[in-house]
A and B are shown apart, each in its own frame.
Chain A
Amino acid sequence: MDYSFILQQIVFGLTLGCLYSLVAIGYTMVYGVLRLINFAHGDLLMVSAYLAFYGIVIFHLPWPVGFGLAIALTAVLGILIDRGAYKPIRRSPRISALITAIGVSFLLENLALVVIGARPKAFPEPAVFVGVLETGTLRIPYMSFWVLGVTAVLLAAVLVVVRRTRIGMAMRALSRDMETVRLMGIDIDRVISFTFVLGSALAAAGGIMWCLRDPPLDPFLGVMPGLKAFVAAVLGGIGSVTGAALGGLLLGLSEVLIVAVKPEWSGFKDAVAFSLLITILLTRPTGIVGEELPD
């Protein structure tokens, strides 16, 4: 039994899982508050990565500035999408918002395609992220530790915000009963905007780290990870931040370990998320953390 191999795979799985978690949190928060599956959320990965790319490669910004700016701008984009596309139809039947969300997602992807082009860009790798930890037969890239560390910090921050701050509690109240919260005089739009900012910023961070880990960047980068991140949110229990985190980690681990154990199945790696989704819907629909969200 090659323990270092297993350990490596676990680290890879957790790394991937962290990235899924970051994106999943945004999905779960917006769904909790608005009952909307924000299909455009996954594409924010792509947007932030391109912004970072242009910042560093074209404008020669130092990488912390480039990354920070990319995240900030993506967070703003998140709010703009809500204000521009979702808010006007807040009162319409749910299907309208879902359709609009798909439209926004597709628009982002195709705008990127038209403006930037289909050829994948090579994402810059700042020196501090390069390198591999080698002990004995173990080889783990430093990037993995960065991802694990940054995610842990961000996750802790989000949990503090959601559980301890007033706006966080308003978010949770909103997901239970929008009418009552409105009657309490709380500015719902501000809370919703905040939800989008938080989720978008996390996705943006995830997008940058995704490209650091796996360089090629093209307009459709966010499609699969976005889809899988939503599955992770459902796995964990939609509406719950801890659930999204757990779901993401579980999904990342499953994907990596299944391929590690059965390499001949590597072509079917993408089907893992889907199978997990169907399984959870059949067995425990409320997810791991499992709270029933009121209709």
Chain B
Amino acid sequence: MSPSHATETTSHTRDRFLSLTALAVLGVFLWFAHNYLSGYVIRILNTIAIYIIVAVSYNLINGVTGQFSLQPNAFLAIGAYVTAILALSPEEKVQSFIIEPMIWPLSKICLHFPVSLAIGGLFTTLIAFLMAVPVFRVRGDYLAIVTLGFGEVLQVLANNLVPITNGPLGLKGLHPYTTLWWSWGLCIMTVFCVVRLVNSSYGRAMKAVREDERAAEAMGINAFWTKTLAFTVSAFFQGVAGGLLAHLITTISPGMFGFMLTFNLLTIIVVGGLGSTTGAILSAAIIVLLGEGLRTFEEPFTLFGHYFQGVAGMRMVIFSLLLIVVMLFADRGIMGREEFSWRKLIDWARSLAGGARRGRK
């Protein structure tokens, strides 16, 4: 066993140990939050987890594979509706569907939450696959328009297919199945899957397609299947996230899944660094918190003794400016394309400590 191979194994074990410890710490924190923190904070934590799922999967198609898609709002909607429709009991359906009764057999189906969630994810994956084929065969540029258009069409469908979706009234009274364990558990699972995929040969193929698609094809990579893989995997996790979202907010309606949702996620992955999973995670947390913080400025508030009227819609103006500014001046975002590793964190901590020590002298 060569010396470098030996250090490789020890650092591998160290990494594994550190990761498991971090997970344990997270688990303890979640338990604490679940039992001691307010409903508001719990909701924010759940939202962060869900946004991380969406951001990390969105980053897979936009950042890692370099294909510009505007999908999240549509896929979240599909996941949300499918999960909700499957999870509601027949009695609750009768109560909700007051304009037109729900069609059979949907009116009679009632599945457990995990099963509904899984089917929601899989159904979204199927839709994504059907979309991917015409688009990726032709020009990847059209992906943005197709996904954008699809999001709009989906709203139209949701509003009009009343026997399935209950139209503009939406679905209310969903069980709050989404607990911190569900959202963070699935969040960890998503990150795990995506990271492993990106580090595999499939991930390398995706990056090659991003860097130079024609050269990648000349090296034997089938760009069509590579893009389709990224797109469908992305869709699956977003469908699941949609189901989680539905059962967190307990009410869904067609208007909830408008373009603004996609825009926020785009801002998240750009700010985090297009192509970096770590960046997407950090940025999701930051932007969700920032959004909450900015929300206070949209209502009347008092600052330093002065009363301000509050500007509705200011949040979105700020986020649009943020996106443009980042694209023009800091287009690598927070992490660029770098990823987290324990090694880097240790080195960074050491350099900070070293700097502090030198400063004190």
Q: When A and B assemble into the complex, do they touch directly, with CB atoms less than 8 Å apart?
A: yes
Q: How far does the alpha carbon of A267 sit from the alpha carbon of B157 in the complex, in Å?
A: 8
What is the chain A residue whose CB lies nearest that of B315?
A110
Q: Which of B130-171 contact A (CB under 8 A)?
A: 134-135, 137-139, 141-142, 144-146, 148-150, 152-153, 156-157, 159-160
Digit string of B232-258 for contact with A (CB within 8 Å is 1, else 0)?
000000000000000000000000000
Picked from A100, A114, A270, the residue with its CB within 8 Å of the CB of B314 is A114
Contact A110 B66 (CB under 8 A): no
Contact A103 B327 (CB under 8 A): yes
Of A53-61, A85-93, A165-173, A208-216, which stretch is located at the interface?
A85-93
Residues of A within 8 A of B266 (CB): 99, 102
* Known A95-B66, A102-B70, A278-B134; contact A273-B328, beta-carbon cutoff 8 A: no
Does residue B52 face the partner (Cβ distance < 8 Å to A)? Answer: no
Q: Knowing A107-B320, A114-B311, A234-B142 are in contact, say whether A271-B66 is a contact too (CB < 8 A).
A: no
Decide if A129 is an interface residue (CB 8 Å cutoff). Answer: no
Give chain B interface residues in 33-67, CB to chain A under 8 Å.
62, 66-67
- Contacting residue for B323 out of A37, A88, A103, CB 8 A: A103
Query: How many residues of chain A have a CB within 8 Å of chain B?
Result: 41
Q: Interface stretch among A71-79, A135-143, A196-204, A223-231? A: A223-231
Q: Residue A277 contacts which of B137, B144, B145 (CB distance < 8 angstroms)?
A: B145
B331, A282: Cβ atoms under 8 Å? no
Inter-chain contact B263/A102, CB cutoff 8 Å = yes
Interface members, chain B 294-318 (any A CB < 8 Å):
311-314, 316-317
* Total chain B interface residues with beta-carbon distance under 8 A: 44
Asked whether A85 and B141 contact (CB < 8 A) given A103-B323, A107-B321, A114-B317, the answer is no
Please name all residues of chain B whose beta carbon is closer than 8 Å to the beta carbon of A277 when the two chains form the complex.
142, 145-146, 149
Contact of B320 among A35, A110, A234, A282 (CB under 8 A): A110
Q: Does B324 contact A (CB under 8 A)?
A: yes
A85 in contact with B328 given A102-B266, A106-B320 (CB within 8 Å)? yes
In the complex, how many residue pairs between chain A and chain B have their CB atoms under 8 Å apart? 111
Asked if A99 meets B141 with Cβ closer than 8 Å, knowing A106-B320, A227-B149, the reply is no
User: What 1/0 flags go to B312-353 for Cβ under 8 Å of A?
Assistant: 111011011101100110010000000000000000000000
B68: Cβ under 8 A from any A Cβ:
yes
Q: Which residues of A contact B327 (CB under 8 A)?
A: 89, 96, 99-100, 103
Is there a chain B Cβ closer than 8 Å to A5's Cβ? no
Known: A89-B331, A110-B316, A278-B134. A99 touches B68 (CB 8 A): yes
Residues in B with CB closer than 8 Å to A223 are 152, 259
Chain B residues, CB < 8 A from A295: 214
Subset of 19 A-B contacts with CB under 8 Å: A35-B141, A88-B328, A102-B263, A103-B327, A104-B320, A106-B320, A107-B324, A110-B313, A110-B317, A110-B320, A111-B317, A223-B259, A227-B145, A234-B145, A267-B160, A270-B153, A271-B156, A277-B142, A281-B146
Given contact pairs A102-B323, A110-B313, a sample of 13 additional A-B residue pairs in the complex whose CB atoms are under 8 Å apart: A89-B331, A95-B68, A98-B144, A99-B68, A100-B323, A103-B320, A103-B327, A106-B316, A231-B145, A271-B153, A271-B157, A285-B137, A285-B138
